[in-house]
């Protein structure tokens, strides 16, 4: 008896959610939010080089069951809330603040990445549990690997 496919939108007979957090929708991003993952699946089938399609589709995964995903939303909201005033200030004084903005943004980005690292590790472990032959090399999907 076949189990329902509720985790892998790029594989046959996917019946899981089409919106939410997903892993490996793009070759260089571990996870991201999607309003309609099936649009991404269709795009990959239609637009990506043929030698990449199977790997991309095989590695896409719904992350709703991953505990670290719930921790991501408030972290992301906090990051965006802190970055918005920096951007507004930059827009108002673009020329004179360019260097200052970059320094503050880089510091904020570094802090965000440091806080996100343990969540990334949990999410990657979850993905590897469900996709043992995952083609993610730590930065991006590796094409040429067999799914």
pLDDT at 117: 92
Q: Kindly give the confidence (pLDDT) of every residue in the chain, 147 residues in length, as a single tens digit, with 9 standing for 90 and above.
A: 578 999 999 999 999 999 999 999 999 999 999 999 999 999 999 999 999 999 999 999 999 999 998 888 898 889 989 999 988 888 777 777 677 888 899 999 999 999 999 999 999 999 999 999 999 998 899 998 565
Dihedral of CA 133/138/140/143: which sign?
A: negative
Encoded tokens for 64: 């709703």
Could you tell me the CA-to-CA distances from 17 to 24, 109, 146 in Å, in that order? 16, 30, 26
The C-alpha R_g of the chain, in whole angstroms, comes to 18
pTM over 0.85: no
pLDDT at 122: 93
Question: Can you give the residue ranges of every domain in the chain?
Answer: 20-130
d(CA 10, CA 110): 32
- 136 DSSP β-pair partners: 141
Beta strands per DSSP E along 4-139 = 20-26, 29-34, 61-62
């Amino acid at each position: 008896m076949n189990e329902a496919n509720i985790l892998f939108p790029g594989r046959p007979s996917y019946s899981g959610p089409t919106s939410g957090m997903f892993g490996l929708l793009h070759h260089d991003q571990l996870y991201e939010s999607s309003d309609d993952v099936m649009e991404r699946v269709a795009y990959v089938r239609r637009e990506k080089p043929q030698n990449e399609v199977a790997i991309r589709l095989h590695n896409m995964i719904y992350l709703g069951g991953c505990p670290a995903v719930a921790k991501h939303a408030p972290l992301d909201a906090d990051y965006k809330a802190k970055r918005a005033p920096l951007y507004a200030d930059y827009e108002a004084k673009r020329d004179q603040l360019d260097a200052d903005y970059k320094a503050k943004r880089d510091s904020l980005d570094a802090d965000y990445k440091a806080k996100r690292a343990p969540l990334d590790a949990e999410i990657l472990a979850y993905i590897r549990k469900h996709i043992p032959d995952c083609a993610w090399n730590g930065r991006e999907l590796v094409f040429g690997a067999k799914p």
